Amino acid sequence: MNTVISAMSLDYPPHKLAVYISDDGGSLITLNAVREAWRFSRLWVPFCRKYGLNLRCPEAYFATQEKFEFDADRKILQERYREFQEALEKNSMNESKSVSRDHPPTIEVMTDDENKDSGLREMPLLVYVAREKRSGHPHHFKGGALNVLLRVSAVISNAPYFLVLDCDMYCHDPSSARQAMCYYLDPKHSPHIAWVQFPQKFRNMSEHDIYGGRLNNFLRAAYGVDGLRGTNLMGCNFFMKREAIYGTKNIQRGATLDQLKKLFGSSNEFIRAFMDKERYRPKMPEDRKPSDALQDELQLLASSSYDVGTQWGKVVGYRYFSVVEDAITSLELHCDGWISVYTNPANPCFLGASTNNLNDTLVQQTRWAFGLMQMGLSRFTPLIYGPLRMSILQSMWYGALVLDSLSTIPFYVLSIIPPICLLYCIPLYPQVSDPFFYAFAFAFVSSQVKHVQEVFSFGDHSFMNALYELRVWMMKLGTCYFYALINSILNKLGLHEANFNLTNKVVDDENVMLYERGIYDFRTLPMLLVPLCSIYILNLACFIIGVTRIYGKGDELLAQAALSFFGLVVNYHLLDGMFLRKDNGRISPYVFQLALVTSGVIFGCVSVFLLH
């Protein structure tokens, strides 16, 4: 609820601000929590404005130990916040925690219990939205939820711009909306700007970023793409122009009502809000209690069958072709001629909670990689779909983004073939005395030096974090990209159904303790660890045996030995987890045994191929 409260506290005129929370589970716990958040925000929002607070997330604000001139008022608010937290805990214990996948739509506009509207005009709108879900209708994951929010918000507030936040993010700088408006009000570029993207930054980062949670490798590239038509959508922390997401450039002038209904659905009120956006006034009473007619309209817009027979998810709203709705939507908008802006102010505008265990990291990265690869194997593959609609460089950026999982193929080739050839004393690279050897050596060494230089130039002056980044990249290649490639091919053949696995948002104290100490927590699914451990065991065995056999042939086999040794050193944490650690976060004996058998099978199959 800190996300909701911080969004309501943005430094922006309250009558122009509305906050919508999407609850896909239709949980009564969440609805009651939103009601409690509204009651607390009636005190919190005026307090923030009165004293001009720069930090408007209650949890973060009350965690500070600074002394203020208004300490008396602060203590009163802190007590109210404690009561608010207790109410949430009591509510979670009293209500069922079950999440429904089959429920009617529920839309509730928060207002005061009393029959008076004192101070309501000084408060932003807060609206709870639980879209309808039925087993017979596809719900299209996050893209479907965002499209419901688009439709519902159109007939309640119809703001020309909106901000998308995930539930684990909060507004850290209350001026973020004004910063975004600076770009939208630029007379030269404003007509072409679709969205303003802020980076994802995290408040719970350890100095040992062992899981690559800072996403620095991706954010570094965003600066360069900003010189083209702009970076892609990053899931959250972006301000979007409503006109752009509606796909207005695909709508013919003078379109009839029937044509508009084929695009936007059967809601006359929504079409009126779209067509007459300058003069349209949402029919929300001052007491914020929707009329029966408006409530019926909202129920229609949030129904599970509203998309059927329309262009929602195709050319209108967030696209449904992939579980990563942000990538496919931004590709389409860039192809339509829109541009985007990437801005990274010194004071982070949004902060969130990063994953602090290996399981959540690998599950999240696998989901992203699968969605992107799913897009890469569709008709929207950027290297074919993009060049006719955008620049070659922009197409190459999207191509590198969505086809990244293909890099798992050379990873496995380089992880399996050279060490086995080392074991059998089969040279693959030029001899040390051969001039071409130095070309290979230069390519390898320069790539590693370049990686370290990029890490340092981005402000992270730590060789260890450069190592952690490389290590996470190898883990993604061996697990996330591997499963993403296989599942996307199976999905293309109709043998695998796309799903949307959520990462855990609950903080685990033991996970946090291991993370802050820079120790990996290997408690995850065996299928996520076995590929990594199998490759490591194979390389370790081949290196130990192979080195004893290459006496006198070091000139021919040095490159292969060095490559295996490099992989073993970089991924030392796997050796530690399998053989040295005894704590709960170690690699389990079951996973080790399974990996041992798998590595043996790989060795046997490749050996037969090499020797025959």
Annotated binding residues for UDP-alpha-D-glucose, written as ranges, equal: 24
Asked if residues 482 and 531 have their Cβ atoms less than 8 Å apart, the reply is: yes
The verdict on whether 326 is a catalytic residue reads yes
Q: How many H-runs (helices) and E-runs (strands) does the chain carry?
A: 24, 10
Catalytic residue among 11, 23, 24, 360: 24
Q: Could you say which DSSP state residue 15 is in?
A: G
Smallest Cα–Cα separation from 300: which of 153, 134, 152?
Answer: 152
Q: What tokens were used for 76? A: 């009163």
Most distant CA pair in the chain: distance in Å?
92
Q: What is the 3-state secondary structure (H, E, C) of 268-322?
A: HHHHHHHHCCCCCCCCCCCCCCCCHHHHHHHHHHCCCCCCCCCCECCCECCCCCC
How far is the C-alpha of 68 from the C-alpha of 409, rounded, in Å? Answer: 58
Amino acid at 441: A
Annotated binding residues, written as ranges, equal: 24, 142, 166
Q: Could you say which DSSP state residue 581 is in?
A: -
Amino acid at 457: S
Q: What tokens were used for 296? A: 């019926």
How far is the C-alpha of 175 from the C-alpha of 10, rounded, in Å? Answer: 7
The verdict on whether 296 is a catalytic residue reads no
- CA 198 to centroid of chain Cα atoms: 13
The answer for 574, left when phi > 0, alpha when psi is -120 to 50, beta otherwise, is alpha
Catalytic residue among 11, 23, 173, 326: 326
Asked if residues 223 and 317 have their Cβ atoms less than 8 Å apart, the reply is: no
How far is the C-alpha of 467 from the C-alpha of 455, rounded, in Å? Answer: 10
How far is the C-alpha of 171 from the C-alpha of 178, rounded, in Å? Answer: 13
How far is the C-alpha of 241 from the C-alpha of 229, rounded, in Å? Answer: 16
Report the DSSP beta bridge partners of residue 133: 103
Annotated binding residues for Mn(2+), written as ranges, equal: 142, 166
Residues noted as catalytic? 24, 326
